């Protein structure tokens, strides 16, 4: 049976949308649901689907140190089964996976072979935002290099993190072009599983010449979504395992703007072990969908059943604007990410995974301060991002980003409760660098079990409340919408934690 064919389901237009009838059999008939409204950028390059999944190169720390060089450059390489010319780290999309442990030091030289400035952000890592650490205010000029050093605390939460450029005004273009990779912080004891797999999800649009298609201004305002949905640089790769085996999957949403709604089609069983920061005390069923906003990660425990199934993503309606002429981002119908086939002799079903200590709960802690942040769209823009100018403004608390202005000052050693309000007609995933957030209330009400995220989606015309412990790392960094086109267009602020 052939894997799900995306191009057999969709034909995308730059500012409009269309869907075609399902013409395939098997997986597509059972699981794919076409959507009649699609937003995104069309690829002229026909991908090669299927093939065995290939994971990125792995670089591991030794004796507490990981030393490496990342070369950011435009290269010609294999992507989606075809020859393509995109931005890469070390010649590949995704870049190498960095595997470290709590207490380790990462010494990383970033060599900029691009024709524009860049830098690097280690998304989710609880490390200093200053000096040559996770400092997004740094700029590495074309042809230059910079030596980063990230020192992980000894109690750093294990989990799945990632890295990507963060030079304001170029972030969306560079990530969409292919500059991203995963970071794994290993825990004291691995998940009991037959094997571990890393699935880094990105999207891109390639022309018939194999080069990245540039986004229109409308794409930027909506938040661009490329029509090629990639897993480790492949389109719907295949996995094989024996029935009864249990696998630990690490899933990264490295898309510029696309939301993922994960579910498992077929008879394979999937449980959610963790989200973004740390683990859940008790795994829960993946069920009908797990929402991953851009930047979110999930850890899944997959028990293989006989036969074929797939990890899918369903469309997510993340709102729209009147000027979009009826096209809403987040369309595109249900899409396959990876196909999983259980075949061969069955193995004995392992015991259920033991419960692990749950994450801390700040709801019993005194709150030292509270504040409200408001996301909004409309009015004249300041032109700070690419394609800006007299168009729409993307603001937090009525202001576009200014690197020289500090918008929030907090005290080191305090716990604060923040309400993030969204007055716009589109969802905005809120990302805070350095300090993770416990979600207290979301758009549906109180969140019962402790949930720690570093990207929290704030649906259109709603609000969420989080608690943040500014405990042990001082410094100046940023918070922003993780639809990275919106961040580039001004939806970002500066925070400083001081003793």
> Same domain, yes or no, for 230 and 300?
yes
Q: What are phi and psi of 340, to 5 degrees?
A: -115, 125
Largest CA distance in the chain: 64
Give the range of the structural domain holding residue 434, as residue numbers without chain letter.
362-498
Task: Specify the pLDDT at position 156.
Answer: 96
For residue 221, is pLDDT > 90? yes
Where helices occur in 161-264 by DSSP H, the ranges are: 171-176, 217-222
Domain end position, chosen among 185, 219, 245: 185
> Same domain, yes or no, for 371 and 436?
yes
Six token digits for residue 490:
């001004």
Domain end position, chosen among 185, 204, 237: 185
Residue 366, preceding peptide bond in cis (omega within 30° of 0): no
- 8 Å CB contact between 425 and 378: no
What digits encode the pLDDT tens for the residues 269-282? 999 999 998 777 77
For residue 366, is pLDDT > 80? yes
d(CA 227, CA 76): 20
> Same domain, yes or no, for 63 and 146?
yes
d(CA 47, CA 132): 39
For residue 454, is pLDDT > 90? yes
CATH code of 294's domain? 2.60.40.420
Give me the number of domains the chain comprises: 3
Task: Specify the pLDDT at position 353.
Answer: 67
> Same domain, yes or no, for 164 and 283?
no
> Same domain, yes or no, for 83 and 43?
no
> Same domain, yes or no, for 220 and 179?
no
> Same domain, yes or no, for 228 and 163?
no
- 8 Å CB contact between 403 and 138: no
In a domain, 351, yes or no: no
Lowest mean pLDDT of 273-282, 291-300, 477-486, name the range: 273-282
d(CA 346, CA 303): 12
Task: Specify the pLDDT at position 21.
Answer: 26
- Rounded (10°) CA dihedral 291, 297, 301, 307: 60
Calculate the average pLDDT of the chain.
88
Instruction: Find the mean pLDDT for residues 368-383.
Output: 87
Cβ within 8 Å of residue 135, ≥6 positions away: 119, 129, 477
> Same domain, yes or no, for 484 and 372?
yes
Of all residues in the chain, what percent carry a pLDDT higher than 90?
Answer: 78
Domain end position, chosen among 162, 185, 208: 185
What digits encode the pLDDT tens for the residues 77-120? 999 999 999 999 999 999 999 999 999 999 999 999 999 999 99
> Same domain, yes or no, for 119 and 180?
yes
In a domain, 5, yes or no: no
More confidently predicted of 327 and 352: 352
In a domain, 417, yes or no: yes
Helix (H, G, I), strand (E, B) or coil at 465: strand
In a domain, 350, yes or no: no
């Amino acid at each position: 049976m052939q894997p799900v064919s995306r191009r057999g389901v969709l034909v995308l237009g730059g500012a409009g949308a269309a869907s075609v009838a399902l013409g395939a059999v098997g997986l597509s008939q059972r699981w794919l649901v076409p959507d009649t409204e699609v937003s995104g950028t069309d690829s002229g390059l026909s991908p090669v689907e299927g093939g065995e999944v290939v994971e990125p190169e792995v670089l591991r720390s030794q004796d507490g140190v990981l030393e490496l060089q990342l070369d950011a450059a435009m290269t010609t390489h294999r992507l989606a089964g075809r020859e393509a010319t995109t931005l890469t780290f070390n010649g590949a999309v995704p870049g190498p996976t960095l595997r470290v442990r709590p207490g380790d030091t990462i010494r990383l030289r970033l060599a900029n072979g691009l024709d524009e400035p860049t830098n690097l952000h280690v998304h989710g890592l609880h490390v200093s935002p200053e000096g040559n650490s996770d400092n997004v205010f740094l700029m590495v000029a074309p042809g230059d290099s910079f030596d980063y050093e990230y020192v992980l605390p000894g109690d750093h939460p294990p989990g799945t993190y990632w890295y990507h450029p963060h030079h304001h005004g170029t972030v969306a273009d560079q990530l969409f072009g292919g500059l991203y990779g995963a970071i794994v912080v290993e825990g004291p004891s691995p998940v009991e599983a037959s094997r571990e797999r890393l699935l880094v999800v990105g999207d891109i649009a390639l022309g018939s010449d194999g080069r990245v298609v540039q986004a229109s201004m409308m794409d930027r305002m909506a938040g661009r979504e490329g029509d090629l949905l990639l897993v480790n640089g492949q389109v719907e790769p295949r996995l094989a395992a024996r029935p009864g085996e249990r696998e630990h999957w690490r899933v990264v949403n490295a898309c510029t703007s696309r939301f993922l709604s994960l579910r498992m089609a077929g008879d394979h069983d999937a449980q959610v072990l963790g989200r973004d920061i740390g683990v859940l005390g008790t795994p829960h069923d993946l069920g009908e969908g797990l929402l991953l906003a851009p930047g979110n990660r999930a850890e899944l425990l997959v028990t293989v059943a006989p036969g074929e199934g797939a990890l899918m993503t369903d469309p997510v309606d993340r709102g729209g604007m009147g000027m979009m002429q009826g096209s809403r981002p987040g369309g595109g119908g249900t899409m396959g990410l990876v196909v999983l086939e259980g075949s061969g002799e069955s193995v004995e079903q392992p015991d259920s995974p033991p419960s692990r200590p749950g994450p801390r709960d700040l709801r019993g802690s005194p709150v030292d301060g509270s504040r409200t942040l408001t996301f909004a769209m409309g009015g004249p823009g300041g032109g700070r991002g690419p394609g800006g100018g007299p168009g729409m403004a993307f603001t937090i608390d009525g202001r576009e980003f200014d690197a020289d202005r500090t918008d929030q000052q907090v005290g080191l050693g305090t716990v604060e409760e923040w309400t993030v309000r969204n007055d716009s007609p589109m969802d905005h995933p809120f990302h805070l660098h350095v300090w993770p957030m416990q979600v207290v209330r979301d758009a549906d009400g109180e969140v019962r079990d402790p949930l720690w995220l570093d990207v929290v989606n704030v649906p259109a015309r709603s609000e969420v409340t989080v608690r943040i412990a500014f405990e042990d790392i001082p410094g100046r960094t940023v918070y922003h919408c993780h639809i990275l086109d919106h961040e580039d267009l001004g939806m970002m602020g500066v925070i400083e934690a001081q003793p």
